[in-house]
């Protein structure tokens, strides 16, 4: 809906009321130069519902005296604008003392912005504003930022904000832990019960869910960056991700919540795979990355139906490193196979209980069967002795394969092998001639510092039939290149990732997984990651 840019405040109200049926994404623009700012505002108008123009980002040389040159930035915007002039201690880009901030707001600010974001300390002295350019407090967002952590006196901050004449309240604080999101949701609940309009954000990667779920819990708006590089606060994801990856316009209080708990998780492609599947199956669900340091407090305070502190429609979790084993202590029931493997990667809320499963094992073995057929007595080498190796060895042994575990730490290899009736050998100078399958279950080859590494060379892999790399990013690893040179058939880690995700989808929704959709989404997400 194009914004009817007009002096007429009534038309702005109508626009915002219409937009309140849906979600408002505000795209911040923080540029040093006027020309760049103008370009960014035009681009922001294509994806955002509102545009925050951060005048504190502008080079003082560019704006000249009195910000007069900045007026046209607001005049020409295709969307309602928010004018912000933040001091450094509140997350702004310049040192500003109280006097220069007041001078700006009272006398020097451009007047054609639709909303003003005025920090709490100034808004508390609202009568001072009577001496300058008129301020319409029904268009003011009163904001407070804390870049250290959750303020201990949140209720007091809220109370002080309500003492100002500002219509909209905003609190943003740094999340040190995912459970800090509870405080942001608490503020939104309190605002709703007191009929106040509020924005509450937990900043940082642990707070992503507050940006995605905020509007469905009553937030006046959520912020989304124009590009990853132009984010104006920690953990701010892009407006495009909010719209097309998380489908934020369709999230409501009824939407089923799922996500991936681990550390790190922000580079996972699982949100792309699951959200694409939900969209294709028209399932009302959203899947987010949950950056979890301490799994037991996360489960207790946010997930377990009997103890959680937030009221949300939580359906299930994927679990990744380093929590696959420790999470088992937090569950009411664990599938016997997951117990044997010693790892849970999938959790489902069943009534008031949490049930744990392992879909890695089935996901691992499914791509092998069409290539090898019968696995009974197949000779398999598993390189690595961690969580993924455990699931691989367990499922291969279940199918009657002969398995040898190769690890750099022979004790770890032996311990894993003994658990499942396999044998073990040191990885150093291993030769894989005569093996039907050689599996890389180490992170060697993963994009980043490990990318050029491989646990086996072409010379070591010569004479093996099939090489299977569990690493999925990049899709073509050094291990697979070596294996191709050695003449092996190849299986990519992406196949396992999509298969195990499909099994999770089936468990959560009760429907068959749209395998092709999930696979395409995974490939697209990997391409995106490679461009980043």
Please give the residue ranges that form the binding site for ligand NAP (CB under 6 A). Answer: 321, 360, 363, 384-389, 407-409, 412, 427, 441-444, 446, 455, 470-472, 493, 496-497, 500
* Cβ proximity to ligand NAP, 151 vs 386, nearer residue: 386
Two tokens at 430? 């291993």
Four-point Cα dihedral 201, 202, 203, 208, nearest 10: -90
Task: Please identify which of the residues 117, 324, 436, 469 carries the catalytic annotation.
Answer: 324
List the strands of the sheet with 423-426, edge to edge: 423-426, 402-407, 379-383, 437-440, 466-469, 489-491
CB of 314 to ligand NAP, least distance (A): 23
Alpha-carbon distance of 226 to 30, in angstroms, equals: 10
**Residue (of 140, 153, 3, 162) closest to 76 by Cα position:** 3
Helix (H) or strand (E) holding 45: helix 34-47
Alpha-carbon distance of 45 to 81, in angstroms, equals: 10
Alpha-carbon distance of 170 to 142, in angstroms, equals: 6
* Cβ proximity to ligand NAP, 30 vs 480, nearer residue: 480
CB of 399 to ligand NAP, least distance (A): 18
* Cβ proximity to ligand NAP, 135 vs 471, nearer residue: 471
3-class secondary structure per residue, 19-38: HCCCCCEEEEECCCCHHHHH
- 324 classed as catalytic: yes
CB of 471 to ligand NAP, least distance (A): 5
CB of 389 to ligand NAP, least distance (A): 6
* Cβ proximity to ligand NAP, 263 vs 427, nearer residue: 427
Helix 410-419 × helix 387-398 angle, to 10°:
40
- Identify any residues that bridge with 25 across adjacent strands, giving them in sequence order: 222
CB of 31 to ligand NAP, least distance (A): 38
* Cβ proximity to ligand NAP, 190 vs 293, nearer residue: 293
* Cβ proximity to ligand NAP, 176 vs 443, nearer residue: 443
- Identify any residues that bridge with 87 across adjacent strands, giving them in sequence order: 94
- 159 classed as catalytic: no
Task: Please identify which of the residues 93, 144, 145, 355 carries the catalytic annotation.
Answer: 145
Helix (H) or strand (E) holding 201: strand 197-203
* Cβ proximity to ligand NAP, 58 vs 427, nearer residue: 427
Position closest to ligand NAP via CB: 386
- Identify any residues that bridge with 170 across adjacent strands, giving them in sequence order: 143, 199
- 360 classed as catalytic: yes
Give the list of residues 6+ apart from residue 462 with CB closer than 8 angstroms, or none.
432, 433, 486, 487
Give the list of residues 6+ apart from residue 317 with CB closer than 8 angstroms, or none.
258, 259, 260, 261, 290, 303, 346, 347
CB of 319 to ligand NAP, least distance (A): 11
- Dump the DSSP string for 438-502: EEE-SSTT-SSTTTT--SS-HHHHTT-SEEEE---SSSS-HHHHHHHHTT-EEE-HHHHHHHHHH
List the strands of the sheet with 115-119, edge to edge: 197-203, 168-174, 140-146, 115-119, 81-84, 50-54, 25-29, 222-223
CB of 403 to ligand NAP, least distance (A): 15
CB of 320 to ligand NAP, least distance (A): 7
* Cβ proximity to ligand NAP, 187 vs 439, nearer residue: 439
Task: Please identify which of the residues 144, 170, 304, 355 carries the catalytic annotation.
Answer: 170
Alpha-carbon distance of 149 to 200, in angstroms, equals: 13
* Cβ proximity to ligand NAP, 302 vs 416, nearer residue: 416
CB of 472 to ligand NAP, least distance (A): 5
CB of 385 to ligand NAP, least distance (A): 4
What does DSSP say about strands 285-291 and 256-262: parallel, antiparallel, or unpaired? parallel
* Cβ proximity to ligand NAP, 235 vs 384, nearer residue: 384
Task: Return the exposure string of 55-78: e unless at least 16 CB atoms fall within 10 Å of the residue's CB, then b.
Answer: bbbbeeeebeeebeebeebbeebe
List the strands of the sheet with 333-334, edge to edge: 285-291, 256-262, 314-319, 346-350, 353-357, 333-334
Task: Please identify which of the residues 56, 360, 436, 469 carries the catalytic annotation.
Answer: 360
Alpha-carbon distance of 184 to 252, in angstroms, equals: 17
Distance of CA 336 to the CA centre of its chain: 31
User: Phi-psi bin for 351: left (phi > 0), alpha (psi -120 to 50), beta?
Assistant: left
Active site residues: 145, 170, 324, 360
């Amino acid at each position: 809906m194009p914004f009817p840019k007009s002096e007429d405040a009534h038309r702005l109200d109508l626009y915002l009321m219409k937009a309140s049926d849906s979600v408002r994404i505000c795209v911040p623009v923080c540029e040093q130069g006027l020309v760049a700012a103008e370009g960014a505002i035009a681009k922001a108008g294509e994806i955002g519902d509102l545009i925050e123009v951060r005048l504190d980002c502008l080079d003082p040389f560019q704006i000249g005296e009195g910000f007069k040159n900045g007026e046209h930035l607001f005049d020409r915007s295709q969307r309602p604008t928010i004018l912000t002039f933040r001091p450094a201690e509140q997350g702004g880009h310049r040192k500003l003392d109280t006097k220069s901030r007041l001078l700006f707001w009272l006398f020097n600010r451009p007047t054609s912005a639709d909303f003003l974001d005025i920090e709490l300390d100034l808004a508390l002295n609202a009568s001072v504003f009577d001496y300058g350019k008129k301020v319409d407090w029904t268009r003011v967002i009163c904001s407070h930022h804390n870049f250290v952590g959750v303020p201990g006196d949140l209720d007091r901050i809220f109370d002080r904000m309500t003492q100002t004449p500002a219509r909209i309240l905003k609190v943003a604080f740094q999340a040190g832990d995912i459970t800090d999101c509870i405080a942001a949701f608490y503020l939104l609940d309190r605002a709703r019960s007191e009929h106040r309009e509020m924005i509450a954000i937990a900043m940082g990667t642990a707070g992503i869910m507050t940006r995605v779920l905020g509007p469905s819990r009553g937030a006046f708006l959520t912020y989304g960056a124009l590009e990853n590089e132009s984010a104006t606060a920690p953990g701010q994801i892009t407006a495009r991700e909010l719209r097309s990856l998380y489908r934020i316009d369709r999230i409501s209080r009824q939407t089923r919540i799922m996500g991936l708990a681990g550390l790190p998780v922000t580079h996972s492609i699982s949100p792309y795979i699951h959200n694409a599947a939900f969209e294709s199956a028209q399932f009302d669900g959203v899947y987010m990355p949950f950056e979890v340091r301490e799994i037991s407090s996360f489960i207790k305070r946010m997930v377990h139906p009997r103890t959680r502190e937030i009221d949300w429609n939580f359906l299930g979790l994927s679990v990744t490193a380093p929590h696959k084993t420790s999470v088992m202590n937090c569950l009411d029931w664990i599938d016997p196979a997951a117990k044997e493997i010693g790892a849970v990667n999938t959790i489902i809320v069943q009534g008031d209980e949490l049930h744990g499963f392992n879909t890695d094992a089935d996901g691992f073995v499914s791509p092998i069967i069409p290539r090898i057929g019968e696995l009974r007595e197949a000779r398999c080498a598993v390189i690595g002795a961690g969580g993924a190796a455990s699931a691989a060895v367990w499922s291969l042994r279940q199918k009657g394969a002969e398995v040898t575990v190769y690890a750099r730490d022979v004790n770890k290899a032996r311990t894993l092998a003994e658990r499942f009736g396999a044998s073990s050998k040191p990885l150093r100078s291993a030769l894989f001639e005569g093996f039907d399958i050689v599996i890389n279950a180490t992170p060697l080859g993963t994009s980043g510092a490990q990318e050029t590494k491989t646990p086996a060379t072409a010379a070591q892999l010569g004479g093996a039939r099939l090489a299977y790399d569990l690493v999925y990013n990049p899709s073509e690893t050094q291990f697979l290149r070596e294996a191709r040179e050695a003449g092996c058939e190849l299986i990519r880690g992406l196949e396992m990732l999509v298969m195990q995700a499909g099994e999770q989808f089936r468990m959560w929704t009760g429907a068959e997984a749209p395998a092709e959709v999930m696979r395409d989404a995974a490939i697209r997400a990997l391409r995106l990651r490679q461009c980043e």
